[in-house]
Amino acid sequence: MEVPHSYLWNSIRASSRFRCKYGSSHENCDNREKYCLDLSTWRSLKSKLDNKKGLRAHYLSPESQNEFITTCAVNVRRYVLDERESAKYYSIMADSTPDASHIEQTTHILRYLVRVNEGFIVQKRFLALLVDGIKRGSRSPT
């Protein structure tokens, strides 16, 4: 079920104003699907909120924030991979380098061509950052 992004953002804002967990009111159901189905209730809620002035800000709980970030990451990754599917040529670049604390970090970058009108544009998309966790090449104190 495809729902406009503005409705999803607005439903998340509404749940945060009332200190609700993301999808907490629905049992035995996928949270995001249930929010999409309950958007009709958002319209009446929105009209009530628009009439009130000076509302205090309430923020999502850490668990809800993590769920929201994960949902956004899945959608962005799906969009990038769908866009890459339409590209004729693509490449994956991996680069590994230690950070300031000498821990190896590897990045994966996806590059591909996107057709725009009569030409092409090179798109570069960050896919992943992998942290090894093992210190390498650290200097011993002298």
Residues 38, 12: one domain? yes
30 and 47 co-located in one domain: yes
Q: Where are the alpha helices (DSSP H) in 86-140?
A: none
What's the pLDDT tens digit per position in 67-116?
Answer: 988 999 889 889 888 888 888 888 999 998 887 878 888 889 999 988 88
Instruction: Say what the pLDDT of residue 111 is.
Output: 93
Both 13 and 77 in one domain: the answer is yes
Q: Clarify whether residues 59 and 91 are in a common domain.
A: no
Same domain, 2 and 44: yes
Determine contact, residues 39/11, Cβ cutoff 8 Å: yes
pTM: 0.47
pLDDT class of 24 with cuts at 50, 70, 90: very low
CA distances from 83 to 39, 77, 110 (A): 29, 10, 11
- Structural domain including 56 reads 1-85
Measured between alpha carbons, how far is 49 from 41 in angstroms, rounded to an integer?
Answer: 12
Would you state the structure tokens that stand for residue 59, as one six-digit string? Answer: 């923020």
| Whether residues 106 and 61 fall in one domain | no
Q: pLDDT class for 57, splitting at 50, 70, 90? A: low
Sign of CA dihedral 32, 48, 4, 120: negative
Mark 105-117 as b/e (b = at least 16 C-beta within 10 Å).
eeeeebebbeeee
